[in-house]
Structure 1
Amino acid sequence: MPPKRKADQAAPTAAGPTGRKAAAKAGGGRTTRGGKTTAVGARAESVDAVQTARAQAGDYLTTAQGVRLPDTDHSLKAGSRGPTLLEDFHLREKITHFDHERIPERVVHARGAAAHGTFTAYGNATAASKAGFLQQGRETPVFVRFSTVLGSRGSADTVRDVRGFAVKFYTEEGNFDLVGNNMPVFFIQDGIKFPDIIHAGKPHPDREIPQAQSAHDTFWDFVSLHTEATHHVMWAMSDRGIPRSYRTMEGFGVHTFRLVNGDGATALAKFHWKPVAGVHSLVWEEAQLAAGTDPDFHRRDMADGIENGAPLEFELGLQLFPDSADETFEGIDLLDPTKLVPEELAEVQLVGKLTLDRNPTNYFAETEQVAFHTGNLVPGIEVTNDPLMQARLFSYLDTQLTRLGGPNFTQLPINCPHAAVNDNLRDGMHQTAVHQGVSPYLPNSIDAAPRPAREDEGGYVQVPREIEGRAVRENPVSFADHFSQATLFWASMSEVEKVHIVEAFTFELGKCYEQPIRERMLGVLANVDADLCAAVAEGLGLPAPAGAPAEVVPSPALSQVPPGPGSITGRVIGVFAAPGADLAGITKLRRAVEARGAVLRLIAPLGGVVKRARSEQIVERTLLTTRSIEYDAVVVAGGIPDFTDIKLSILLGELFRHCKVIAAWGDGDQVLTAAGIDTTAPGVVVGESVAKPFTAELLDTVGLHRVWERAAQVMAS
């Protein structure tokens, strides 16, 4: 039988290649096929697994043909020491299938993790779009895949990179894919340059290094010559390039879309995903530690959080603009994917909530085989002439043909629409639908179906537009401004964020072997900001060239530093205890932490249990098996004033250096002092007991994400 799934896991909704939902039947006896009821063996099982996307049925091990097997540990041989016989069909089938289990990984976004969930519309977007899934109270199943861009499937989660944020809405009108990133702009303006930026960012073709990194010559050679990438490079070098988790990461549709309402009126729009948990990042040392000690850091955080009852939550927002003839807003070209519109100029209107609360059942079947496509649109949402978007309309469809083995990848369970499908697409590799009728063409008078749908019947009808122009290979003049928005981003950062950007540029350019590349990139930064250029130049030991930065008005919305405490749902707080520790206090702390939606983990010197008198608590981490990256705060329990251990000192030292919260109650502050922690420093919370004032201060400070007041006295990046 299939292994029992946990409550947070479920296979894709049971939808066949025609979009029809199939009801699973269990057990033997009689089964129905095509309206006919057939008797089957008393011990046979229903094979509705094909329709319901479950792969296993029955109690016995079988071949792929359903033949029961008595042994799968030994091949068929001529005697126990003789040669293996070719007639061993089980051996041949087992090895042949194993040899073909892998499929090509994605050219980009190969490393990813995903979750199922639901999108619930607030209803306030109906004035802008007639899309059904945006109607008041409409709940739509979704599947969301987060990813890095440059790294291979086996690379680390926490590398400095752009993150993919792709959402598949299984709407009643067909699938809608919003295929975005965690940054609102991109490196290039025209999709024809996509192979160039990716070839430059990928490992060098001679040695296949470095993996999942931009800190090398070819990347910086390209972006220093290709200055339209400057704005996106600023985002990548900021803390946005190393998010704390998927739940604390913004998402953006990048491009400008055209929305159409029920009256046919249009508006231009940009999509935003706003995380309920706030926007937070790692610091650079954390990212490096995580890449080595837990390469699965982000996917583990998401899966564990969902399993612990802390779903990922985002709100969908829209920036709306008049659909003017020049497709600009406040002088910003809306067709330029290297530009954003500051939220202070166009408010983000929240129109729905995304809740991710179910982990996939099978990584390959769902996360690996899901196929997103920017051209998967529903009535009410259209594309624009953004030249990067136009190329993506081809690329995302084309890449699936090789990766998923032909044109029928839409029949894979994770890709199946939940709306009825009745097309004239036939045959091809991996065809699983059994089509009926003899006339897969239109018009026809034989089957008289399917018939085209009028707009009032839900047909997708593009808004008529006049299109004229000469065939040229050139960009609009407005695309030529490569620096002003990079300057805007820099000017909008807090001081600590600016320090991190300087250190990121210095680190990355310091990894380049060719000095002319460093010098050329300094010339680019000189046109962004003189102080930025001077600071990076100092770190590289090179002179700072002069530039001509633009005068800009900062956009506070671009900064990640929160104005006050936020949600701590899904956060992890460690509590250190040893034999003799105040276990009653730990119990009180656990209740307070869980009441705020966070998780408490007990750390101890050794595994097993921690005891005091007749009480005991189960150890979840030991000093040998844990590292500071797992925690948003660590608390030392009272009752063990004389405890010392170099591993605990390292753990607490990292937390202090990374500006995280450290706390202790009772005589636990003596443990902090022995470990070299200044108990009077900002973000170090001490109390006599686990009383409400202590837990409130502790958890509110965790809600700030970092104690940036401490940054000046430590190397926070």
Structure 2
Amino acid sequence: MGNNIPVFFIQDASKFPDMVHAAKPHPGREIPQAQSVHDTFWDFVSLHTEAQTHTLWFMADRGIPRSFRMMEGFGVHTFRLINHQGKSLTKFRWKPAQGAHSPVWEEPQILNGMDPDCHRRDRADAIESGKCYEQSIRERQLAALSNIDGELCQLVAAELGLAVPAATEPPTERAPSPAVSQLGRSWPVAGRVIGIVAGAGRDPEQVLQARDAITAAGMLALIVAPVGGKLAGTDQPVQRTYATARSVEFDAVVLATSDDGGVGPDPRVVVLAEEAFRHAKAIGGWGGAGTVLEAAGVDAPAPGVCTDSRRKW
């Protein structure tokens, strides 16, 4: 457990239940629900000097972190670490590589009111976009990786543009990773969810043939069309639209799109293909699929990608 400031409300553990009760909603009104500051809480703070110190900290400029990536961490627990030299009592402290930043009071009120998941979204977006700007962090991770998998370390170092560090520990015999051992093997497809992106102008018969072939293989086919309702030219329902489809709900995507006629593919389909490829989903298609993949920055011969303009279902 940890906090973003180095002090806590109490120093005596026996006062912890009192602190929790002070922060509870008022029993008569059940207010507040999403905050803790009310009369009962202020009574507790006024009667405890250590709580007053903590309150000055969290009401200062650094009390509200800009994001999880820009806040310090102060461990609450004390650990007894033991090595060959003896024992030591240790508390952990984390320093953000991007610095500690805090918004002014009005900014978090607006941001959290518009998006209660702003901190989690910021963290997820940062991880997905690979935002690791600190050279020392990259070098430290490469150094650790060199002691585990030298070949993989070379590949990662080449992508980062860094030198391959020498291993500092002899390699040890390890059981093969269950995840890596799945490579190159075949797995049942029953129950897989396949999204069929049916572009405007595409022959609906080909889309239905693809759906039937996928269903016959024991998979679930969901038709993704520009708009909801019925698939154009048929009485078959559309399960997803360009606006609601996301690659995370599909195990693979089939791009049954037509040639764009010079106007370019729909940007929503381009985003779907881009996300599917980035999430290591299989992508197939025919007709205008090549145009979509090119717009998404995906090479047609890439692993997991199969397109054929001559394909007939």
TM-score range, shorter chain: 0.3 to 0.5
| TM-score of the pair, normalised by structure 1 | 0.23
Structure scoring higher RCO (CA < 8 A, sep ≥ 6) equals: 1
| TM-score of the pair, normalised by structure 2 | 0.47
